[in-house]
Amino acid sequence: MKPTIALVGRPNVGKSTLFNRLTRSRDALVADQPGLTRDRHYGHGRVGSKPYLVVDTGGFEPVVDEGILFEMAKQTLQAVDEADAIVFLVDGRNGVTPQDKIIANRLRQSGRPVFLAVNKAEGMNRAIAAAEFYELGLGDPLAISAAHGDGVRDLVELVLEPFPDEVAEEKVKHPKFAVIGRPNVGKSTLVNAILGEERVIAFDHPGTTRDSIYIDFEREGHPYTIIDTAGVRRRAKVDEAIEKFSVVKTMQAIEDANVAVLVLDAQQDIADQDATIAGFALEAGRALVVAVNKWDNLDQEQKDKVKRDIARKLGFLEFAKFHQISALQGRGVADLFKSIDEAYEAAMAKLATPKLTRVLEMAVERQAPPRNGLMRPKLRYAHQGGMNPPIIVIHGNSLSAIPDSYTRYLEHTFRKAFKLQGTPLRVQYKTSENPFHQERNPRPGDRPGARRGKK
């Protein structure tokens, strides 16, 4: 499972800038104004040699006892409890402040490994910038610049060093599937319906499950692991700090699973948050099955409306199978489980290079890639580059000019040819090097236009 790193510090020390640097995104708002981040931002770390999750927290003001700053401090402490490691960010230009000392004491008591990062050290002598912060008693400070990237990779490698590399073989021993969705859509009820017994607490109350529960079971002699996850709510609807960090657990469960089962409530509007949760699974490359729950009590007009909403808001899940079920009554659960098996098999499919290349040739013959100026990309052969999700690597020339629309055409062609229902498919390109590239510049002594013959 991916470790979680929490970024903690006073307001305006550069936590959101570091978050954007680590995730290679602009998801966190950044401005020269303290207290801008009030809620959590979650992302996949993309800097470093190991995968991880990173959490951007709001400015930590540990001495306040009321108001929004108090709520932000309470949420930050919860983030510390949920994290596997903490990066304590301080401002190298302001030096040690009384708040830094209080935060350092709080973090020292957490029992989590704490790494002290002295930010805004660009243009400064690193040793001098970090020296003052030894008095915080958190080990060797590491001077960095989140804005410029100086020292950031060294910091990440240091934080990740104690954590083992992910072993892909562990994920494919038997199917793991995570049941995900908003609170109170019937996830735990569906888990019970699949298991056939009351193994998971299921109340008609949002947020009953606040952690991900792993349950091993057998079905028709085959082992499975089912993961019941906490509900992910819109930020504006979350009151208790502990519920905010159910997002971390859900993201970790998705990463740890082979298949995600997205549960929708047919009696509620299909919300943007449903699409966001599906996006988590899609970004992780996980196979997906969608269960539209509480379907049995709808009239035909309501059913048609739900179908239209799904087509409009979840159209990017065209590769997934949708099932109308009643988890409480157990209706449609058997067919749902068949789709889970099919999605798992598709995600773990082994694709032979000769057949991949033949399908590629037929696809190009049917529709060649568009020209880029005078050149047309040349697709030569394909092979499998990974599983869960299946990755197809295509070799050729001038492949960087292939538009996204043609890539989607190839993905659709491969999915249809290999019957990869239920899993996302990724096509990657690898352009062959031109062996004559170095010959373009004439060698010393060559006459323009002269042909080099054999000696």
Binding-site residues for GTP, please?
9-16, 56-60, 119-122, 181-188, 228-232, 293-296
The SS3 call for residue 339 is helix
Residue 428 backbone dihedrals phi, psi, to 5 degrees: -120, 150
How far apart, in whole angstroms, are the C-alpha atoms of residue 163 and residue 3?
Answer: 7
Provide the token pair at 432.
């062959």
3-state helix, strand, coil in the chain (%, to 5): 35, 20, 45
Side chain identity, residue 237:
K
* The dihedral sign for the CA sequence 52, 53, 59, 64: negative
Whose CA is closest to 53, among 184, 189, 247? Answer: 247
DSSP string, 140-192: --EE-BTTTTBTHHHHHHHHHTTSPPP-HHHHTSS-EEEEE-STTSSHHHHHH
Whose CA is closest to 186, among 272, 261, 287, 240? Answer: 261
CB contact at 8 A, 31 and 72? no
> Which positions ≥6 away from 233 have C-beta within 8 Å?
182, 183, 206, 207, 243, 273
Whose CA is closest to 410, among 361, 375, 343? Answer: 361
E strands, 363-433, are: 378-386, 391-397, 426-431
How far apart, in whole angstroms, are the C-alpha atoms of residue 336 and residue 334?
Answer: 5
Binding residues: 9-16, 56-60, 119-122, 181-188, 228-232, 293-296
DSSP string, 250-267: HHHHHHH-SEEEEEEETT
E strands, 52-92, are: 53-56, 85-91
